[in-house]
Structure 1
Amino acid sequence: MTTVQKIKEIEDEMVSATDLGSDAVLSIAGQEYVLVRSTSRQLKAKLAKLRRELLGPTGGGGGWGPRIRCRKNRYSYRGFVGFPSVGKSTLMSKLTGTHSETSEIDFTTLTTVPGTLKVHGAPIQILDLPGIIEGANDGRGRGRQVIAVARTCNLIFIVLDVLKPLGDKKLIETELEGFGIRLNKKPPAILVRKKDKGGIAITNTVPLTNIDQDEIKAVLSEYKINNADIAIRQPNATADDLVDVIEGNRVYIPALYVLNKIDAISIEELDLLYKIPMSVPISSREWMNIDELIEKMWETLNLVRVYTKPRGLAPDYSSPVVLRRGKCTVEDFCSSIHKEIAKQMKYAIVWARVQSMREGRKSG
């Protein structure tokens, strides 16, 4: 039985367990219902372990087949993800000036097409990825290769057809979630520390509303973890959050939902689209609302520009060094240019608007 078949079998079993649980609420004692819920959590843990096998090739052999390769620059990636023929390539070509094949047929883009967009003087690298289809995370089409590249991005543009945004949004989120990508989420505030003995010790600084201690132990048992300290500091933590922490291979990436082809809808329909969180309605063909998309991208990336100033000369405003807010120390700045600079530097002079300061390498 293949991994995909095993996943399908467990998903069917989870549906059966859920149905049994809802019947048990009405007709069986509470203790028996807890056992059904616990079984469901164990199935989720098994499902997560099988999903992990799809994250990469195991053992020797051919792996995933032909890979989608691209070279990463120091500004990292922003990738367009979406179903075929939603306008990704048209938007990419107009934003960056890079030719990305476009047509009315599906799967025109067959490999990753990189391009660079300058925003506030800073170069931002963008990737046009091949279209994915439902079942991509299980290996259909080139979905696994496409999503593997998406895991390396620090911002994902999910491009949707404005005529069917919600259905496609849900399908793409499901595909990315199944491949370990968590969109617009922060890592769970859960600590799992394995130890040699002492059993399972669970502490929580917030009430456990969506998971209880029996369910926590059931998930740990599935991973053969019999001795560990578990600290939960996240409100409304779930068994899925615990599985994500145990697996340790999840990536948490911000996403913007780009609702394309707004030239085909009315103003009233456009007002409704703005209610979708983290969304920007545009028309890549008519070049409508692109400025808002670019500004929203810059805001979501949370970037800052740092300019160099040669001794005795004016600052060089033509080529800023781009850093992420929260990682703006002198050492971060030096490492973004070349790792050897940070090792050799003694101090730096930093100008913050109207005043200058002499800073050490750890200073922000």
Structure 2
Amino acid sequence: MKNKIDLIDKIDKKIAKLEDEIRQTPYHKGTEHHLGRLKAKIARLKEQEEKIKKAGGGFGFIPKKEGDATVVLIGPPSVGKSTLLNKLTQAHARVESWPFTTVKVIPGMMDYQGAKIQIFDLPGIITGAASGVGRGREILSATRSADLLIVMVDIQTRNKIEPIFAELKQVGVDLPTLTVVNKIDLLEENSFSSEKVFISAEKEIGLANLKKKIWEKLKLIRIYLKRKGDKPDFSSPLILKEGQEVKEVVRKIFPHDYEIKKILLWGHSALFPGQQVSLNHRLKDEDILSFDLIKTSLK
């Protein structure tokens, strides 16, 4: 099992490196072939990874990423992770009052600010997880696919926060994290640390703030499109990562048989309304783009 996890980890790192190269490569006719080769390599690596996952053993931990971002819930058994997943995503995960109810990855999809945020509830981990206790190494390795890791405890297991981070460090997991303390409705004290997010999943206390914190930690931005002569379409934003450029929008929505004549911009990153910008312009949340296109002949 360890060899299987290590192999998948190596493939994930190769995919991440290729995806980074795609992001750094300017998009124009001279780079189309190169970008196509990079995407083909990623497709082959993902196919290889899928075969490894299906080759027996384990609980099917390393789930397929979908949506605009992926969040993983990890923590001790019976702290309310499944309840939280149900409240955030309507996933209908099984919830019981005894530990180890979750024995496999439970997926859900949270709609927030126009983004589809995939959330996975992992089985609870116990002391020694990084050494394989309770199949903990396999569980911890599943976090590598996430964009954000929520380390979740309750008011009775707050002393487990640092040990969980130590277990993650031991297996080389280094991701953006958010620490959540559940069941505050059972807590008598009223002062809470600003470094953690305090909630009651069952009573739905603090969930709006948690969603906001997830959005902020993921560093997602919304980009709206505007047809020439029309008003912007605010109903279906494109979701990008903070710091990404106009070329990322182009890669998402335009086929190769279109040539971009002009790009106009409105919003926080524009010097003035309707500013003409290049593909390398860095975007900000709620920017509005309009593209003037020329259809080229198909080869």
Partner of 2:182: 260
Q: CA deviation at 1:314?
A: 2.0
Is 1:173–2:162 an aligned residue pair? no
Q: CA deviation at 1:164?
A: 2.8
Q: CA deviation at 1:99?
A: 1.1
Is 1:99–2:18 an aligned residue pair? no
Partner of 1:274: 193
Partner of 1:76: 69
Q: One-letter code of the match for 1:291?
A: A
Partner of 1:306: 223
Partner of 2:249: 333
**Distance between the aligned counterparts of 2:260 and 2:166, measured in 1?**
47
Q: CA deviation at 1:312?
A: 3.2
- Written as runs of structure 1 = structure 2, the 5 A alignment for 1:1-364 is 56-57=6-7, 65-165=58-158, 167-182=159-174, 253-266=175-188, 268=189, 270-271=190-191, 273-274=192-193, 277=195, 279-327=196-244, 329-337=245-253, 340=255, 345-352=260-267, 355-364=273-282
Q: CA deviation at 1:337?
A: 4.3
Question: Over aligned residues, Cα RMSD in angstroms?
Answer: 2.7
| Unaligned residue ranges in structure 1 (runs of 5+) | 4-52, 183-252
Output one character per residue of 1:137-184: Cα deviation in whole Å (capped at 9) or x when no partner. 22222322322221111111111111230x2102211111111113xx
Q: One-letter code of the match for 1:263?
A: D
C-alpha spacing 1:131/1:164, structure 2 compared with 1 (3 Å): closer
Contact 1:102-1:108 within 8 A present in 2 as well: yes
**Distance between the aligned counterparts of 1:79 and 1:342, measured in 2?**
38
Contact 1:342-1:361 within 8 A present in 2 as well: no
Contact 1:57-1:63 within 8 A present in 2 as well: no
Partner of 1:13: none
| Unaligned residue ranges in structure 2 (runs of 5+) | 9-51, 283-299
**Distance between the aligned counterparts of 2:218 and 2:256, measured in 1?**
26
Partner of 1:219: none
| SS of equivalent to 1:355 | coil
Contact 1:346-1:361 within 8 A present in 2 as well: no
**Distance between the aligned counterparts of 1:181 and 1:306, measured in 2?**
31
**Alignment TM-score, normalising by the size of structure 2:** 0.70
Contact 1:75-1:124 within 8 A present in 2 as well: yes
Higher-Rg member (1/2): 1
Q: One-letter code of the match for 1:123?
A: K
**Distance between the aligned counterparts of 1:151 and 1:110, measured in 2?**
19
Q: One-letter code of the match for 2:79?
A: V
Contact 2:5-2:138 within 8 A present in 1 as well: no
Q: One-letter code of the match for 1:146?
A: I
Contact 1:78-1:126 within 8 A present in 2 as well: yes
Q: One-letter code of the match for 1:351?
A: W
Q: One-letter code of the match for 1:91?
A: L
**Distance between the aligned counterparts of 1:163 and 1:66, measured in 2?**
28
C-alpha spacing 1:145/1:286, structure 2 compared with 1 (3 Å): same
Could you tell me the percent identity over the aligned residues? 33
**Distance between the aligned counterparts of 2:106 and 2:262, measured in 1?**
41
**Distance between the aligned counterparts of 1:287 and 1:127, measured in 2?**
19
C-alpha spacing 1:346/1:74, structure 2 compared with 1 (3 Å): farther
| SS of equivalent to 1:173 | helix
Contact 1:157-1:257 within 8 A present in 2 as well: yes
Output one character per residue of 1:38-95: Cα deviation in whole Å (capped at 9) or x when no partner. xxxxxxxxxxxxxxx796159x9x7964432422125120111111110000011011
Partner of 1:185: none
| SS of equivalent to 1:181 | coil
**Alignment TM-score, normalising by the size of structure 1:** 0.58
C-alpha spacing 1:358/1:177, structure 2 compared with 1 (3 Å): same
Q: CA deviation at 1:358?
A: 2.1
| SS of equivalent to 1:142 | helix
Bigger shift: residues 352-361 or 99-108: 352-361
Q: One-letter code of the match for 2:246?
A: V
Contact 1:258-1:281 within 8 A present in 2 as well: yes
Q: CA deviation at 1:342?
A: 10
Q: How many pairs does the alignment contain?
A: 233
**Distance between the aligned counterparts of 1:157 and 1:118, measured in 2?**
17
